[in-house]
Structure 1
Amino acid sequence: MLDKILASIGIGAARVDARITSAGVRQGDELVGEVHVIGGSVEQSISQIYMYLYTEYSREVGGTQSRQKEVLASYRISDSLVIRPNETRIIPFQLRVPHHAPISFRTQQVYLSTGLDIEMAIDPKDKDLITVLPDPLIEQIFAQAEDLGFRHTSESGYCEYKKHIHRMVPFVQEFELRPTDRFRDELDEIELIFDVYSEGVDVLLEVDRKAKNARGLLQDMLGLDERYVRFTISRTKGLASEELARMIQRGLDMIPK
């Protein structure tokens, strides 16, 4: 009886450990692994094994920046089962990572939380860091940007709250790049936001022209030196050669000199 009471508050209770098979997973692909359930000192009934994928994003609340948690997807791994003392159950899983999961870039992270639902007890949990790799179409864009001499700034890759831009989540992951070669005399920076789905990637490109005179400084202060260009890359066609350069030039042409 004492063992059951202790297990209900987590002492000598069953434990859970998710083990990921692959080192990384692309947006939209499957995450493969195993859930290890290790019995404690008493027999326990588990009503379900669940997992959820989540990330965090920055949001200004009351003039202060705070971190908000966002669940990207939830999964039910197993129905009810009984785990005996010191028994180990291994349950394989394959989970589809949603296209809208942010890329693991610098300090922007994605986590997999695994839990056991045990009635009248503290639910054991496990947390694992997941490496989310970019969609191949996004890799093409980054490759073209690098060929054009663009480099990520220290602020690039962070997720922040933005309404009405992404279809699935209340934040966007912004990639901020500065020119070092071809566009360095015309641009301060560009920003890229991606909306990935099964047929392709929608791209929102922000072009920020460099101020060269008093008028340009005024436009900079008023935010008139920035223009947005939207375009879509389909999986059937991919990214054409120099397409990013053409889109950047289109944005530049929209800004008064």
Structure 2
Amino acid sequence: MFKKLFHSIGIGSAQVDAKVDTEDFKPGGTVEGVLDIEGGNSEQRIDQVYVTVATNYTSEIGDNEDDNVRHVLGRFKLTDEFVIQEGEKKSIPFSFQLPVRTPATLGKTRVWLETGMDIKKALDPRDKDHIHVDPHPLVDAFLDAADSLGLELKEVECEFTPLFFGLRKEFPIVQEFEFKPEEGKYKRKLDELEALFFVYESEVVAVIEVDRKMRNDDHPLAENFDLDESNVVLRYGFDDVDDLPEKLETLIEENL
């Protein structure tokens, strides 16, 4: 009787630990590893073992900001139903594809795997492991292009996708990169450049905000009304990578 009661509140239940082959991943890449499962104080039926890929984003409500709001990127079934005996140990290999829109673990952004088991009449035992995710290759190409123009990456975070983009249903959150000119010709012309990346399988839509420095002929209220800012869209794919520095330079020049 006491064993059944304890199992119903998660005490003495089976435990799961996911071990991945590497801690460095790429968006859209394969995650491979082994599930180490250990039985509890009695036989249990496990409906399935699954993994949830999650990240954090910044939420701003009024003057309050929370940069640790959890967002689920995907959930993947790793096993079918099975029975594990009291104290039994099982090792089960698994693999799944990391979502192509998984953000890079840069700046404030973190990504982790939550491995859980569906067990009837018991709390869901979970194992949480942080992983390192490189930028998507097309986002990485943009970072290289910006660096070649003397723009240094200063801040990275995920945020709620602005409603006026019309993309919130498809992209609930988006990763924002902030650059500042540290050297080169834009040091005196540009305050900062911000880019939001909407990542698809073979292309990226970058929404770029060019924030130029105030000029002598600007109206004194120009900065108050964001008249020194321009928003433009840059869509590019793998065939455009070699020309990306030139495309970015042209885009900046046209909006200074």
Give the TM-score normalised by structure 2: 0.90
Q: 1:203 to 1:62 in 2, by over 3 A?
A: closer
Following superposition, which runs of at least 4 residues in structure 1 exceed 4 angstroms of deviation? none
Q: 1:134 to 1:30 in 2, by over 3 A?
A: same
Q: 1:60 maps to which residue?
A: 60
* Deviation at residue 43 of structure 1 after TM alignment: 0.9
Question: Any stretches of 5+ residues in structure 2 without a counterpart?
Answer: none
Match of 2:171 among 166, 169, 172: 169
**Root-mean-square deviation (Å):** 1.8
* Deviation at residue 216 of structure 1 after TM alignment: 5.0
User: Take 1:162 and 1:138, find their aligned partners in 2: how far apart are those partners?
Assistant: 17
Question: Any stretches of 5+ residues in structure 1 without a counterpart?
Answer: 253-257
Q: 2:51 maps to which residue?
A: 51
User: Take 1:7 and 1:171, find their aligned partners in 2: how far apart are those partners?
Assistant: 37
What does 1:82-231 align with in structure 2 at a 5 Å threshold? 82-153=83-154, 156-164=155-163, 165=165, 166=167, 168-181=170-183, 182-213=185-216, 215=218, 217-231=220-234
Contact 2:16 2:37 in 1 (8 A): yes
User: Take 1:147 and 1:214, find their aligned partners in 2: how far apart are those partners?
Assistant: 30
Q: 2:246 maps to which residue?
A: 242
User: Take 2:60 and 2:218, find their aligned partners in 1: how far apart are those partners?
Assistant: 32
Contact 2:36 2:89 in 1 (8 A): yes
Contact 1:210 1:216 in 2 (8 A): no
Contact 1:233 1:239 in 2 (8 A): no
Q: Which amino acid aligns with 1:174?
A: E
User: Take 1:89 and 1:218, find their aligned partners in 2: how far apart are those partners?
Assistant: 68
User: Take 2:109 and 2:141, find their aligned partners in 1: how far apart are those partners?
Assistant: 21
* Deviation at residue 71 of structure 1 after TM alignment: 1.0
Q: 1:13 maps to which residue?
A: 13
Give the TM-score normalised by structure 1: 0.90
User: Take 1:17 and 1:217, find their aligned partners in 2: how far apart are those partners?
Assistant: 60
Contact 2:179 2:194 in 1 (8 A): yes
Q: Which moved more, 1:105-114 or 1:236-245?
A: 236-245
| Per-residue CA distance 1:74-116 (angstroms, 9 max, x = gap) | 1111121101122122222222122222110033101111111
Contact 1:113 1:125 in 2 (8 A): yes
Identical pairs, percent: 35
User: Take 1:43 and 1:15, find their aligned partners in 2: how far apart are those partners?
Assistant: 13
SS at match of 2:19: strand
SS at match of 1:131: strand
